[in-house]
Amino acid sequence: MKVLVLNGSPKAKSDTMHMTNAFIKGIKETGEHQIEIINVIEKEIKPCTGCFACWKMQNGKCVQNDFQNEILSKIIESDAVIWSFPLYCYGMPSHLKAVVDRTIPLAKMNMKEENGVVRHETLIDFTEKHYVVLCGCGFPDWNGNFDALRIQCANMFPINLTTVCVPETPMLSVPEAQPLTNPLIEKFVNAGKEFAEKLTLSDETIASLEVPMLPNEVYIQIVNQNAGQ
């Protein structure tokens, strides 16, 4: 399986990548897989200008000559794309959103209606491509905090989408918290194995990954005690 990982964290030491790396480890343990990680923040990816020249050319490329065209080629070539990023203002970081905005060269201007939903036709067949969204946040639970992101991702990837939203992920970068975080990391390793075998995760697996590691009141107290330090 050829897997493309788009790391959307702006930090070299990413909280979210702790769980993504564990997920990748699980995939690798199932056999030979080709996995490439792109740190989006390190690449030149300009905002979409809305010129729609890509829809005129229909060659799967953007007229802006930057790293985005390489990403588009890698998306086309991959069997699975993992989008890994922290929650920013109830969505994804701006540099990763630029990547998403500039995937329109992979679509056509032509529209079609399916099951009451109007979408653009795609330039290539995406029905066999699988997507995983791994998003972490600093809130103590995920209720309500990930709602907007879930809707956006479901609209962007209407088929073959697996979304995992994890609260309290700053704890993954705290060595003292390893008695709490190590079990979650191991769950992500097992989840990676499951995905490699089934190209999806069960509802039970997703639920186990999204359970907060600490009660809300305890986590909030810890965050507030360390605020400003």
149 band by pLDDT with thresholds 50, 70 and 90: very high
The domain of 131 spans: 2-226
Mean pLDDT of the chain: 94
> What separation in angstroms does the CA of 140 have from each of 166, 167, 171, 218, 223?
9, 6, 11, 9, 10
Residue 124 sits in a domain of what CATH number?
3.40.50.360
Counting the structural domains of the chain, the total is 1
Asked if 196 and 33 count as a contact pair (C-beta separation under 8 A), the reply is yes
| Tokens (6 digits) for 162 | 């697996």
Q: For the chain, report the end-to-end CA distance as a whole number of angstroms.
A: 44
The beta strand positions in 123-212, using DSSP E, are 130-136, 161-166
Residue 142 has a pLDDT of 67
With DSSP H G I counted as helix, E B as strand and the rest as coil, what are the percentages for the chain, rounded to 5?
45, 20, 35
Residue 12 has a pLDDT of 85
- For the chain, what is the largest distance between any 2 Cα atoms, rounded to a whole number of angstroms? 56
Residue 136 has a pLDDT of 96
Exposed e or buried b for every residue in 66-98, given b needs 16+ CB within 10 A? Answer: ebbbebbeebeebebbbbbbbbbeebbbebbbb
| Tokens (6 digits) for 91 | 């969505």
Residue 172 has a pLDDT of 94
| Tokens (6 digits) for 159 | 């088929």
Q: What span, in angstroms and rounded, lies between the C-alpha atoms of 121 and 141? A: 37
